[in-house]
Structure 1
Amino acid sequence: MTHRILIVEDEPSIAELIAINLSHAGYEVEKAMQTDLAISMMKDQLPSLIILDWMLPGKSGVQFAKELRSNDRTKALPILMLTAKSEESDKVLGLDSGADDYVTKPFSPKELVARVRAILRRQAPIEDTGPLTVGPLKLDPSSHRVVAVWPSIDPKPIALGPTEFRLLQFFMANPERVHSRGNLLDKVWGNEVYIEERTVDVHIKRLRAALAPYECDRYIETVRGSGYRITKTPTES
């Protein structure tokens, strides 16, 4: 299957540079100069991934990413944020808005294509683990569903983005083990990816936020100086 990439970038020269490199890499490419046009282009069919510029006319990429994440139809759509902002606080803001990865301008076209490949590769299951259960959490890789099951309460479905799903799946397949940020990058993101370890913290925060309404966030524990784990017996707060 050929992946279709939607580039939302208002600078024609940058959009064309990205489009040419992605086309040479075997992807189908569409371009939109602002978010309204991007929304119109996604009405009939969603792209495989969006490359989204931070600074756009009318509505910023950060605002648009938040809207995509709050919509049931587009909440799992992979987003690569593209921006001239390079401070760590800006990177965190971009990731917190819902982006799966972040590239700063000026950028290497080869690196950008590598990041696109990595994000799309993460859409495949980590491994065929079969259904998993840790505490009240139940995860089914085949149906891509996560539910919280508490006594005397109907199962509650939990909506997760693609990276958070893979992260939770990896944790649940390896309960009680402490995983360093580097290990998580290798196992969940893939060891060929240009991603900083700080990105792991952002996605852990996002995973916990998704689990919190169902009182499941406490099952994801931080082990100071070592990393993260999922436990069957969380410490009562």
Structure 2
Amino acid sequence: MASNAREAMERLASESFSLVILDINLPDQSGFEVFTEMQAHKNYKSTPVIFLTAQSEISSKIAAFSMGAEDYIVKPFNALELKARVEAKLRRADSLARSNVSLCKGQLQLDASTQRAYSLEGAEPRAIHLTPREFNLLFFLAKNEEHVLTRAQLLDAVWGGSGEVFDRAVDTHISAIRRKLGSLSGYIQSVPGAGYRFSCLKHSQSGSKAA
């Protein structure tokens, strides 16, 4: 256990952790800033992070989930509930690591073992820099290609059905993924009144007509 941000970053640099529980109100730095530093670190960009904090404002929760946090628990908390949530996040991370290691859909390649995404449009693969949450969401959509997935299904699969997450968190992450996909953004289709579908078919047909 680290008492401040500096100590936390020192331990992260010298030790290995499967999951991190992080407070927002640290004495020397915001927990949000520590999370940002973790995502920039190659060894921890895919590590699940649970915020455990006294801040109950909706804006803080939305900020945490938008950044890619796995969960957000408000103090005071039940120790058994925290234990259950931690175990659930670890099981999900392990399941993803053991699932299909690589997916290649159209001109998009996803590597689950490293949580890296690549565009195969050019002569050389182009890295698409996604947060862990964005990668997991895109991977789940691509794995269920051509199936319409509701926001509730996406929340359950990627966020673990946490009661603190809102439907709009899915929309926010989808928008961010589309921006990063660039010309491949058409792979993610909105289905009015239902949710989202991953499909390479329409995108490929459009590309053929333009050629």
TM-score by length of 2: 0.80
2:198 maps to which residue?
230
Q: Secondary structure at the match of 1:32?
A: coil
Asked if the contact 2:48–2:70 (Cα under 8 Å) also holds between the matched residues in 1, the reply is yes
2:172 maps to which residue?
205
Residue-pair matches, total: 202
1:7 maps to which residue?
none
* Displacement of 1:197: 4.8
Equivalent-residue separation in structure 1 for 2:106 and 2:132 (angstroms): 22
Equivalent-residue separation in structure 1 for 2:32 and 2:188 (angstroms): 27
Equivalent-residue separation in structure 2 for 1:87 and 1:202 (angstroms): 15
Equivalent-residue separation in structure 2 for 1:202 and 1:154 (angstroms): 33
Q: Structure 1 unaligned segments of length 5 or more: list them.
A: 1-30
1:134 maps to which residue?
105
Q: Structure 2 unaligned segments of length 5 or more: list them.
A: 207-211
Q: Secondary structure at the match of 2:176?
A: helix
Segment of structure 1 superposing worse, 33-42 or 126-135:
126-135
Q: Secondary structure at the match of 2:44?
A: coil
Q: Does 2:155 match 1:155?
A: no
Equivalent-residue separation in structure 2 for 1:143 and 1:88 (angstroms): 32
| Residues 80-135 of structure 1: per-residue CA shift (max 9 Å, x gap) | 01122223222101222332211011111111111111211121244744642333
| Residues 144-165 of structure 1: per-residue CA shift (max 9 Å, x gap) | 4421110x43111234444433
Equivalent-residue separation in structure 2 for 1:68 and 1:143 (angstroms): 16
Q: Percent identity?
A: 36
Equivalent-residue separation in structure 2 for 1:103 and 1:218 (angstroms): 35
Q: Does 2:39 match 1:69?
A: yes
Equivalences for residues 63-102 of structure 1 within 5 A: 63-102=33-72
Q: Secondary structure at the match of 1:209?
A: helix
- What amino acid does structure 2 have at the position aligned with 1:137? L
Q: Secondary structure at the match of 1:33?
A: coil
Of 112, 117, 127 in structure 1, the residue corresponding to residue 87 of structure 2 is 117
Q: Secondary structure at the match of 1:54?
A: coil
Equivalent-residue separation in structure 2 for 1:50 and 1:141 (angstroms): 20
CA 180–195 in structure 1, closer or farther in 2 if over 3 Å, else same:
same
Q: Secondary structure at the match of 1:122?
A: helix
Q: Secondary structure at the match of 1:72?
A: coil
Structure number having the greater helix percentage: 2
CA 129–69 in structure 1, closer or farther in 2 if over 3 Å, else same:
closer
Q: Secondary structure at the match of 1:82?
A: strand
CA 195–117 in structure 1, closer or farther in 2 if over 3 Å, else same:
farther
Equivalent-residue separation in structure 1 for 2:169 and 2:124 (angstroms): 30
Asked if the contact 1:118–1:189 (Cα under 8 Å) also holds between the matched residues in 2, the reply is no
TM-score by length of 1: 0.72
Asked if the contact 2:65–2:165 (Cα under 8 Å) also holds between the matched residues in 1, the reply is no
